[in-house]
């Protein structure tokens, strides 16, 4: 009996076109991270279970992939990139430069409910600055987050910025209710404060108003001043006093980025979390960072029509006239490769029409045709697919022609 | 009680320097694969257990990470990239162009004995052509393997090539013994044939000699002819009739690449395997491919002293004189970033000496210093660290100066 070929629910194969697009987005973000001097870090897929459990609340422990390995060790699959980062900081403390600026782009695994369109394996893209309390670190984190979006072609987005200290003195329930403002509206928030948190109408209204009209704390003002120097063109931000980012571990700055025209949620979120990184060591180590939602980024690009049109992988398809002439095609292809061209030799046996269709489908710009006439005189016919023009040239002339045209296109 | 920060045996953290080097090697290989028209494929880390078990022999089933997920499904971690490829071919047969040329660069997990210096999580880099029986496919696979090594800076290597048909009529034990020739020598092979396979001295000697002096089968000769056209400079190969590549699933061409000066083993191996890909479908689907040993590649580069010296991630460090002048540094840095420079603003509070040392340690070529004098006159002092030269310039002049010099360096 043959085994049914299938993937697990919530897991995805990325076939070439999608894999290339994802790689492209990753390389754009990688470039931006590195241009701001963030260095890559990679951690293992598997960790000792005790490293991960108890760090993400009950929900996290439930959704984590955990098992016993062949050696009887309790292990768990990476659930996010922040806890492994905290472990790395503690483990290599004396080797790492401080402040430590790292980015990390790896998959994480969560046994999420797939009914909600969630994935069980998905890519996270994080950038964090560890070991600095400076507002310049906060400013830089916001700047790099915005720069990544610009580099991907997003033009209209805004960074919503707040500071956790805005909520000082308020109960968790109150913060959770206020955080829902965008989703459920003012009336909704007030109702929730009354029904769940024991406020009366007036108190609820006053509390919400007080937050809505709060002024930014001093530290945030300093951040805003620096962001203004960088310019609103570069980092379009607004102060958003009702932004709470759930009940996460943030201790100061919090921010989210919303993309105009994409309503499924923020594509990026982060903030300062000065108490979390120290979990594996004795001292608290300040930290500020953010994470792009990679799948959301791709979805937003799709929605806005800015998904990159990737160029064809190859410049030239060398056709094969017949098996006995194939070697001429192979050697001409090799010659082109030595010139730095990206070249494919047609692999199957097929008539020229089929080979041309193959090139057109792949978007290959040039065809090199070596039939019996060409083969016997060391010539080659070059066909420009966009115009249909073709010319029979010596192999030298053909190489010159392609060098001229393909460099022109790439520059 | 605090949790000890540690990684599992056989698993590795890649700190920035190493992670950058690995990324660099990956990007070089990715480029080569794509320039030969191989497209990326990614498959999930977890598969249904039944997809993977029984495909790698007893040893494989034993070393595989397998467990029951939260939904009671038996799952297993990716063990290699060939079985998932076979599943993909069967699952998306009608969506995929044939021949299907894909490369795949992902981690695999094996509960190997770490005593032997083996890793339990390691990167595989595969390239395969599915659906073509043409010798051009074989030639291309060998060519791309060699091109990848050249691109990484390997100059002296050779491709050992053989065809499985050489061993026709010989027992498995005989093939295994002959495959050890390089390791245990002629005498060793003959002894093993006598002691384990029931040959007498003379028969053993004759069998070994027959293989050593075998002529290449017709199909291999055709491959060699094409490789000769490409040139031994480009693909330095030799016919190696005693090469067997263990008892793997190969059905025709087999090859390995040895690097001169690196004796720990071949850095690359592959061949034709026409029966394997069909395991999830009714029809056999021909295939030829290879895999680089990524860790071995890095090790060989280290041994040969060709490990790439990666350029500094940033062009310019903008120093910070004091907290009250920091905003001038932040805004000048932002201006430089808009010009496309890769820029870091110093984050801590520190004296200029410490900031210069930081730049030197990181290999940053230029320092932009904004002290009180500069700040009050919109000037900046640019220091070239290689020469120690410095000049106080207007911000415009400074930008021009850096544009001239940094572009010069990169071109």
Query: For every residue of B317-336, which 3-state class applies, written as one string?
Result: EECCCCHHHHHHHHHHHHHH
Distance to chain B for A194, nearest Cα, Å? 38
Residues in chain A, how many? 411
Which pLDDT belongs to residue B62? 94
User: Which range is most confident: A104-108, A165-169, A172-176, A242-246?
Assistant: A104-108
How is residue A283 written in tokens?
């001292």
**Residues of A whose CB is below 8 A from B342:** 34-37
CA dist B108 and B44 (Å) reads 11
Residues of B in contact with A76 (CB under 8 A): none
In terms of CA atoms, which chain B residue is nearest residue A85? B13
Helix, strand, coil content of chain A in percent (nearest 5): 45, 20, 35
A50 contacts B8? CB cut-off 8 A: no
Helix/strand/coil for A288: strand
Chain A residue with minimal CA distance to B311?
A34
- Check pLDDT > 60 for residue A411: no
Among B238, B235, B218, smallest CA distance to B227 is for B235
DSSP A363-399: T--EEEE--HHHHHTTEEEEEETTT--EEEEEHHHHH
For range A367-380, the mean pLDDT: 93
- Provide the pLDDT confidence category of residue A383 given band limits of 50, 70 and 90: very high
Q: Which residues of B204-235 are buried (b: 16+ CB within 10 A; e: fewer)?
A: bbebbeebeebebbebbebbbebbebbeeebb
Q: Where are the beta strands (DSSP E) in B240-359?
A: 253-259, 268-272, 287-293, 316-318, 343-345
pLDDT over 90 percentage in chain A: 81
Average pLDDT of chain B?
93
How large is the average pLDDT for residues B188-196?
95
Q: How many CB pairs under 8 A join A and B?
A: 275
Residues β-bridged to residue B238: B160
Compute the Cα dihedral for B74, B116, B194, B212 and give only its sign: positive
Q: What is the mean pLDDT of residues A129-137?
A: 95
Please give the Cα distance from A157 to B376 (Å, whole number): 34
- Give the dihedral sign, CA A99/A103/A109/A114: positive
Q: Which of A1, A4, A5 to probe by mutation at the B interface, max B CB count within 10 Å? A: A5
Average pLDDT value for residue range B264-278: 92
The residue among A9, A10, A12, A13 with the most chain B CBs within 10 A of its CB, best to mutate, is A13
B198-246 residue pLDDT tens: 999 999 999 999 999 999 999 999 999 999 999 999 999 999 999 998 7
pLDDT at A29: 98
Q: How far is CA B402 from CA A105, A144, B13, in A?
A: 31, 22, 36
With cut-offs at 50, 70 and 90, classify the pLDDT of residue B311.
Answer: confident
Q: Do B44 and A8 make contact, defined as CB atoms within 8 angstroms?
A: yes
Tokens of B203: 């028969």
CB contact under 8 A, A347 and B11: no
Query: Hey, what are A295's tokens?
Result: 């799948």
Name the minimum distance, in Å, from the CA of B192 to any CA of chain A. 34
Share of chain B above pLDDT 70, in %: 99
CA angle B383, B386, B392 (to 5 degrees): 15
Residue B124 bridge partners (DSSP): B106, B293
Residue of A2, A4, A11, A16 for testing the chain B interface, max B β-carbons within 10 Å: A16
Q: Express each pLDDT in A56-88 by its tens digit.
A: 888 899 999 999 999 999 999 999 999 999 999
CB contact under 8 A, B225 and A327: yes
Look at residue A247 in the predicted model and tell me its pLDDT: 65
Token pair 């997809």 is found at B51
pLDDT at A231 over 90: yes
**What's the confidence (pLDDT) of residue A276?**
87
Spatial strand order of the sheet with A379-384 comes to A343-345, A316-318, A366-369, A379-384, A390-394
Which residues of chain A have a CB within 8 Å of the CB of B229?
327, 330-331, 334
CB contact under 8 A, A92 and B13: yes
Say how many C-beta atoms besides its own lie within 10 A of residue B95's C-beta: 8
The predicted model gives B140-144 an average pLDDT of 97
C-alpha–C-alpha distance, residues A258 and A238, integer Å: 11
Q: How many angstroms from the chain centroid is the CA of residue A341?
A: 30
Of B4, B96, B327, Cβ closest to residue A226: B327
Q: Which residues of B touch A69 (CB under 8 A)?
A: 8, 65, 111
For residues B344 and A137, the answer to whether their CB atoms sit within 8 Å is no
Burial of residue A234 (number of CB atoms within 10 Å: 0-12, 13-18, 19+): middle
Contact of A239 with A215, CB cutoff 8 Å: no
pLDDT of B11 over the 90 cut: yes
pTM over 0.90: yes
Please write the tens of the pLDDT for every residue from A264-314: 889 999 999 998 888 888 788 999 999 999 999 999 999 999 998 888 889
The secondary element (H helix, E strand) that includes residue B8 is none
* Bridge partners for B367 per DSSP: B317, B383
Which helix (DSSP H) or strand (DSSP E) does residue B233 occupy? none
Interface contact B140-A34, CB threshold 8 A? no
**Closest approach of chain A CAs to the CA of B387, in angstroms?**
23
Place of tokens 């079985």: B83
- The reply to whether ipTM tops 0.90 is yes
pLDDT tens for A330-373 read 999 999 999 999 999 998 888 999 999 989 988 899 999 999 99
- Is residue B351 over pLDDT 50? yes
Query: Which chain B residue has its CA at the smallest distance from A225's CA?
Result: B327
Cβ burial of B255 (10 Å; 0-12, 13-18, 19+) is buried
Residue A114 per-residue DSSP state: G
How far apart are the C-alpha atoms of A19 and B26, rounded to whole Å? 15
| A52, pLDDT greater than 50 | yes
- For chain A, the first-to-last Cα distance in angstroms comes to 55
Per residue in A165-195, pLDDT (tens digit) is 999 999 989 999 999 998 899 999 999 999 9
Distance CA A177, CA A200 (A): 14
Q: How far apart are the first and last CA of chain B?
A: 55
Is the per-residue pLDDT at A410 higher than 80? no
Distance between CA A262 and CA A171 in Å, rounded?
Answer: 32
């Amino acid at each position: 009996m043959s085994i049914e070929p299938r993937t697990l629910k919530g897991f995805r194969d990325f076939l070439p076109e999608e894999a290339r697009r994802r790689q492209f987005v990753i390389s754009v973000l990688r470039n931006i991270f590195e241009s701001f001097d963030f260095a890559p870090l990679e951690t293992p897929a598997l960790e000792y279970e005790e490293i991960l459990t108890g760090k993400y609340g009950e929900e996290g422990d439930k959704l984590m992939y955990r098992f016993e390995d062949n050696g009887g060790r309790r292990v768990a699959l990476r659930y996010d990139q922040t806890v492994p980062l905290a472990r790395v900081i503690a483990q290599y403390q004396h080797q790492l430069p401080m402040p430590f600026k790292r980015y990390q782009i790896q998959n994480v695994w969560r046994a999420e409910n797939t009914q909600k369109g969630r994935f069980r394996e998905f890519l996270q893209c994080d950038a964090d600055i560890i070991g600095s309390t400076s507002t310049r670190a906060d400013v830089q984190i916001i700047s790099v987050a915005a720069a990544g979006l610009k580099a991907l072609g997003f033009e209209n987005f805004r960074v919503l910025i707040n500071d956790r200290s805005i909520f000082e003195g308020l109960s968790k329930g109150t913060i959770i209710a206020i955080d829902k403002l965008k989703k459920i509206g003012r009336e909704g928030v007030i109702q929730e404060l009354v029904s769940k948190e024991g406020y009366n109408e007036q108190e609820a209204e006053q509390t919400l108003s007080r937050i809505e009209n709060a002024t930014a704390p001093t530290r945030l003002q300093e951040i805003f001043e620096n962001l203004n120097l960088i310019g609103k063109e570069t980092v379009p931000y607004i102060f958003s006093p009702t932004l709470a980012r759930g009940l996460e571990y943030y201790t100061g700055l919090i921010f989210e980025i919303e993309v105009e025209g994409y309503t499924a949620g923020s594509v990026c979120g982060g903030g300062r979390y000065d108490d979390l990184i120290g979990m594996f060591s004795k001292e608290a180590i300040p930290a500020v960072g953010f994470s792009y939602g990679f799948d959301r980024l791709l979805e937003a690009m799709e929605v806005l029509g800015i998904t990159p049109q990737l160029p064809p992988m190859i410049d030239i398809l060398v056709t094969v006239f017949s098996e006995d002439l194939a070697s001429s095609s192979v050697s001409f292809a090799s010659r082109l490769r030595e010139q730095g061209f990206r070249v494919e030799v047609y692999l199957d046996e097929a008539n020229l029409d089929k080979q041309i269709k193959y090139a057109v489908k792949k978007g290959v710009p040039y065809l090199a045709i070596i039939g019996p006439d060409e083969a016997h005189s060391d010539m080659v016919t070059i066909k420009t697919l966009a115009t249909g023009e073709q010319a029979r040239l010596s192999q030298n002339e053909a190489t010159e022609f392609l060098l001229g045209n393909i460099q022109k296109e790439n520059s």
